[in-house]
């Protein structure tokens, strides 16, 4: 029943938010695909000329001046005022900001065009156009016909390609990409990260049989003696056989399709559980008469018991670090497996067992590499700061992004926390908005921890800072951001402070940090110096040793320096947030080694405690 409710909710969220894409197809890597990555031609269109006429009304689909229609004149007298040429090309996947200086601060519309040939292997097969992410709004046209629109800069979407539109040669795929910020979008106008525009993740054609496996889930039940799950088919055929196999465990389960979503349960005698110390992944095969999917899945239990977070029945201390989806050395969005391996490799070197992927869902490569490396993941939607909490359409957009995040990644053992937002202001309207998101996340996936990053009130002069945000009543784990010693006071004030909460729940520090310009040497009292950042971390660690018993981990801000238009000190920032423990060139700052040493100590402490 839960999965039926989830499916109904997902369709409703897509409809309410105005998205016309089809329900998401998961595990693209296991499908028959044709890559459309590479060079795409573009037109910069700040006045929306290709979308609206001179009266600023949307052009009709057949309007010859619409940029989604051909740019080739019918004859020498035919007037064309747009054109795509190879001289103006951008790499996909990739943000436009890092590819040409003229795009650095650009926010607006860019039209992308890709020509391709494709013939389906079977005329009766379905063909889908899949985007890993486009920031922020994508209007997609194929051969002059609109396939649909998607909003949300960090989640995947797909459209079915009708046979009536597809050609075997010279298909004209045009995507209108608009990254302008609006008060009624998610995120809204104000963020502390760079608004990278473009088709930032992979684009694939997916060819699937008439009846195919759209999605599935396998989870280890809390007892550890059962694997529970479901399989979702794109269409339901009564008594269709579905086979679930885990060869290494000698499991082969055959079930009859119940509906579009079919539930199953498999008893197991023993299983090797996934953990940071041993990130075991099992080969899983799911098949029907017409479709077969292969996947690597880890099985583990994550739960809250009292005030502790338990992984596979044992308490864990989360040694975390926050990460933006950015490669600082190249000043661009991350998107590849190599990018993920570099960023998560740095986290492993820091002795982390956990990362917070801030402040939006990262590329699928990140969570799949986290699975393979044994790194716990906090995954989040960009409900951030100044969201319009009173707007029902904004709530629908947030729920749609939440649905897309969970749908893509619900089989990843590494993900233990779904977060619905960061640093949102306390008031009744916001409380209702966020409570609705938390309830939705719990309805969609009750097997994981549900949380949000809350703020600390520094107005009180008391040495005891109490987390009493009303949202704490609804989250599984009380997570909070604190910057005592950077935005308030000095690092010497940190050890005079104690943090606690009115809620009898695990307590987690989801952010803390201080900026340091790499290479800037001074005394420890000098802001932006490496010495100040080092002092800050030493005082933080001293404070952590006196945290209450329900303290379960920390996730400092941030792994690496990243671009932000809010950071405009001409000497120490120049458009960079320099709170990273690794600088703009990939070099480790002294504070990196302070945190690394503390994490090594905590790792040994918990390994001894659990053995």
Q: Is residue 19 part of a domain?
A: no
Residue 14: pLDDT band (50, 70, 90) is very low
pLDDT at 51: 97
Q: Which of 453, 274, 272 minimizes the C-alpha distance to 375?
A: 274
3-class DSSP state of 511: strand
pLDDT at 460: 58
CATH code for position 275:
2.60.40.10
Give the separation between CA 502 and CA 169, rounded to whole angstroms: 65
Cβ atoms within 10 A of the Cβ of 256, count? 10
pLDDT at 15: 44
Average pLDDT over residues 432-455: 97
Does 221 score more than 50 pLDDT? yes
- Show the domain range for 67: 31-208
Residues 160 and 293 in one domain: no
Ordered DSSP codes for 208-230: E-SS-EEEEEEEE-TTSSEEEEE
Give the separation between CA 514 and CA 226, rounded to whole angstroms: 46
- Look-up: residue for tokens 């029943």? 1
DSSP element (H, E) containing 321: strand 318-323
pLDDT digits (tens, 9 = 90+) for 172-217: 999 999 999 999 999 999 999 999 999 999 999 999 999 999 999 9
Phi/psi-derived region of residue 321, left when phi > 0, alpha when psi is between -120 and 50, beta in every other case: beta
Mean pLDDT, the chain, whole residue set: 94
pLDDT at 21: 61
Give the separation between CA 80 and CA 585, rounded to whole angstroms: 45
Q: Is residue 23 part of a domain?
A: no
Q: Show which of 269, 303, 337 is a domain's final residue.
A: 303
Residues 111 and 122 in one domain: yes
Residues 422 and 391 in one domain: yes
CATH code for position 405:
3.20.20.80
**Angle formed at CA 459 by CA 514 and CA 379, multiple of 5 degrees:** 50
DSSP state for residue 248 in the 8-state scheme: G
Residue 239: pLDDT band (50, 70, 90) is confident
**Angle formed at CA 525 by CA 524 and CA 526, multiple of 5 degrees:** 95
Residue 607: pLDDT band (50, 70, 90) is confident
pLDDT at 1: 42
Residues 251 and 359 in one domain: no
Q: How far is CA 520 from CA 527, 533, 564, in A?
A: 10, 11, 20
pLDDT digits (tens, 9 = 90+) for 280-317: 999 999 999 999 999 999 999 999 999 999 999 999 99
Residues 184 and 299 in one domain: no
Give the separation between CA 187 and CA 388, rounded to whole angstroms: 10
Q: Is residue 18 part of a domain?
A: no
Q: Kindly calculate the radius of gyration of the chain based on its CA atoms and give it in whole angstroms.
A: 25
Give the separation between CA 515 and CA 532, rounded to whole angstroms: 8
Q: For residues 518 and 548, is the Cβ–Cβ distance under 8 A?
A: no
Residue 57 CA, chain-centre distance (Å), reads 35
Residues 158 and 228 in one domain: no
pTM, to two decimals: 0.95
pLDDT digits (tens, 9 = 90+) for 77-134: 999 999 999 999 999 999 999 999 999 999 999 999 999 999 999 999 999 999 999 9
Residues 422 and 527 in one domain: yes
Q: How many residues does the chain have?
A: 611
Residues 67 and 105 in one domain: yes
By mean pLDDT, which of 259-263, 403-407, 433-437 is the weakest?
259-263
**Helix extents (H) in 323-378:** 337-349, 364-373
Q: How far is CA 532 from CA 485, 486, 545, in A?
A: 10, 9, 20
Q: Show which of 247, 276, 303 is a domain's final residue.
A: 303
For the chain, give the percent of residues with pLDDT over 90.
Answer: 91
Q: Is residue 89 part of a domain?
A: yes
Q: Is residue 268 part of a domain?
A: yes
Does 609 score more than 90 pLDDT? no
For residue 308, give both structure tokens: 């502790």
Give the separation between CA 240 and CA 13, rounded to whole angstroms: 29
Query: How many Cα atoms sit within 13 Å of 466 on the Cβ side?
Result: 7
Average pLDDT over residues 139-149: 97
Residues 399 and 421 in one domain: yes
Residues 235 and 376 in one domain: no
How many structural domains are present in the chain? 3
Give the separation between CA 416 and CA 377, rounded to whole angstroms: 6
pLDDT at 461: 53
Does 20 score more than 70 pLDDT? no
Residue 377: pLDDT band (50, 70, 90) is very high
Q: Is residue 582 part of a domain?
A: yes
DSSP state for residue 101 in the 8-state scheme: G
Q: Which of 274, 109, 277, 260 minimizes the C-alpha distance to 177?
A: 109
Does 4 score more than 70 pLDDT? no
Based on DSSP, count helices (H) and strands (E) in the chain, helices before strands. Answer: 7, 34
pLDDT digits (tens, 9 = 90+) for 35-67: 999 999 999 999 999 999 999 999 999 999 999
Give the separation between CA 154 and CA 195, rounded to whole angstroms: 12
Residue 462: pLDDT band (50, 70, 90) is low
pLDDT at 503: 97
Q: How far is CA 450 from CA 3, 361, 445, 446, 500, in A?
A: 18, 15, 9, 8, 19
Does 171 score more than 60 pLDDT? yes
Sheet (strand 126-131) strand order: 32-35, 203-208, 126-131, 157-160
Residues 6+ apart with CB under 8 A from 129: 140, 142, 147, 158, 159, 160, 161, 173, 203, 204, 205, 206
pLDDT at 459: 63
Average pLDDT over residues 19-30: 84
Average pLDDT over residues 13-18: 43
For 157-173, give the secondary structure using H, E and C: EEEECCCCCCCCCCEEE
Average pLDDT over residues 516-543: 98
pLDDT at 56: 92
Q: Which of 14, 313, 251, 248 minimizes the C-alpha distance to 149?
A: 14
Name the residue with higher pLDDT: 3 or 508.
508
pLDDT at 16: 41
Average pLDDT over residues 522-540: 98
In sequence order, what are the beta bridge partners of 543?
none
Beta strands in 211-315 (DSSP E): 213-220, 226-233, 241-246, 251-256, 261-267, 282-287, 292-297, 302-305, 308-311, 314-315
Q: How far is CA 314 from CA 185, 278, 305, 310, 414, in A?
A: 40, 14, 10, 5, 16
CATH code for position 172:
2.60.120.260
Residues 323 and 450 in one domain: yes
Give the separation between CA 25 and CA 146, rounded to whole angstroms: 20
Name the residue with higher pLDDT: 15 or 418.
418
Give the separation between CA 437 and CA 610, rounded to whole angstroms: 35
pLDDT at 19: 40
Residues 380 and 482 in one domain: yes
pLDDT at 2: 47
pLDDT at 24: 97
Q: Show which of 244, 270, 303 is a domain's final residue.
A: 303
pLDDT at 238: 86
Q: For residues 365 and 335, is the Cβ–Cβ distance under 8 A?
A: yes
3-class DSSP state of 555: coil
Give the separation between CA 154 and CA 176, rounded to whole angstroms: 16
């Amino acid at each position: 029943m839960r999965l039926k409710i989830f499916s109904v909710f997902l369709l409703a969220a897509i409809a309410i938010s105005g998205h016309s894409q089809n329900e998401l197809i998961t595990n693209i890597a296991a499908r028959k695909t044709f890559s459309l990555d590479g060079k795409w031609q573009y037109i910069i269109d700040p006045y929306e000329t290709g979308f609206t006429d001179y009266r600023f009304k949307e052009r009709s689909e057949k309007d010859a001046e619409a940029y989604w229609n051909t740019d080739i004149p019918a004859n020498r007298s035919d007037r064309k005022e747009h054109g795509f040429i190879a001289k103006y090309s951008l790499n996909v996947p990739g943000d436009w900001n890092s590819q040409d200086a003229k795009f650095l601060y650009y926010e607006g519309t860019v039209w992308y065009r890709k020509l391709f040939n494709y013939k389906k292997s079977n005329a009766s097969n379905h063909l889908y156009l899949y985007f890993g992410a486009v920031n922020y709004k994508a209007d997609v046209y194929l051969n002059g016909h609109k396939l649909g629109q998607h909003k949300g800069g960090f989640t995947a979407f797909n459209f079915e390609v009708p046979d009536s539109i597809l050609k075997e040669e010279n298909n004209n795929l045009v995507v209108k990409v608009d990254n302008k910020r609006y008060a009624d979008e998610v995120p809204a106008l104000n963020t502390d990260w760079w608004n990278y525009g473009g088709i930032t993740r992979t684009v694939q054609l997916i060819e699937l049989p008439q009846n195919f496996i759209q999605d599935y889930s396998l989870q280890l039940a809390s007892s550890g003696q059962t694997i529970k799950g479901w399989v979702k088919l794109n269409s339901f055929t009564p008594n269709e056989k579905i086979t679930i196999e885990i060869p290494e465990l000698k499991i082969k389960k055959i079930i009859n399709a119940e509906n579009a979503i079919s539930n199953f349960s498999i008893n197991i005698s023993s299983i090797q559980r996934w953990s940071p110390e041993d990130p075991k992944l099992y080969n899983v095969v799911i098949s029907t008469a017409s479709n077969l999917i292969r996947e690597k899945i880890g099985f583990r239990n994550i739960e809250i018991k009292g005030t502790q977070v338990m992984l596979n029945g044992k308490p864990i201390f989360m040694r975390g670090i926050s990460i933006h989806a950015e490669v600082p050395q190249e000043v661009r969005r991350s998107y590849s497996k190599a990018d993920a391996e570099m960023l998560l490799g740095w986290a492993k070197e820091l002795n982390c067992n956990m990362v917070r992927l801030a402040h939006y869902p990262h590329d699928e490569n990140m969570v799949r590499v986290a699975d393979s490396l044994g790194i716990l993941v906090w995954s989040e939607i960009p409900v951030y700061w100044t969201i319009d909490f009173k707007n029902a359409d904004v709530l629908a957009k947030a729920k749609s992004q939440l649905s897309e995040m969970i749908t893509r990644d619900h089989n990843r053992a590494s993900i233990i926390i779904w977060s619905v937002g960061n640093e949102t202001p306390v008031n009744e309207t916001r409380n209702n908005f966020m409570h609705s998101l938390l309830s939705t996340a719990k309805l969609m996936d009750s097997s994981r921890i549900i949380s949000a990053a809350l703020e600390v009130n520094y107005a009180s002069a008391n040495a005891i800072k109490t987390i009493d945000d009303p949202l704490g009543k609804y989250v599984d784990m009380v997570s909070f951001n604190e910057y005592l010693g950077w935005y308030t006071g000095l690092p010497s004030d940190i050890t005079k402070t104690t943090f606690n909460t009115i809620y009898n729940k695990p307590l987690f520090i989801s952010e803390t940090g201080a900026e340091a310009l790499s290479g800037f040497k001074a005394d420890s009292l000098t802001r932006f110096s490496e010495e100040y950042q080092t002092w800050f971390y030493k005082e933080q660690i001293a404070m952590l040793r006196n945290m209450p018993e329900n303290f379960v981990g920390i996730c400092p801000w941030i792994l690496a320096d990243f671009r932000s238009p809010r950071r405009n000190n001409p000497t120490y920032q120049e458009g960079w947030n320099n709170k990273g423990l690794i600088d703009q060139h990939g070099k480790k700052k002294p504070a990196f080694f302070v945190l690394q040493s503390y994490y090594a100590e905590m790792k040994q402490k918990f390994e001894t405690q659990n053995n």
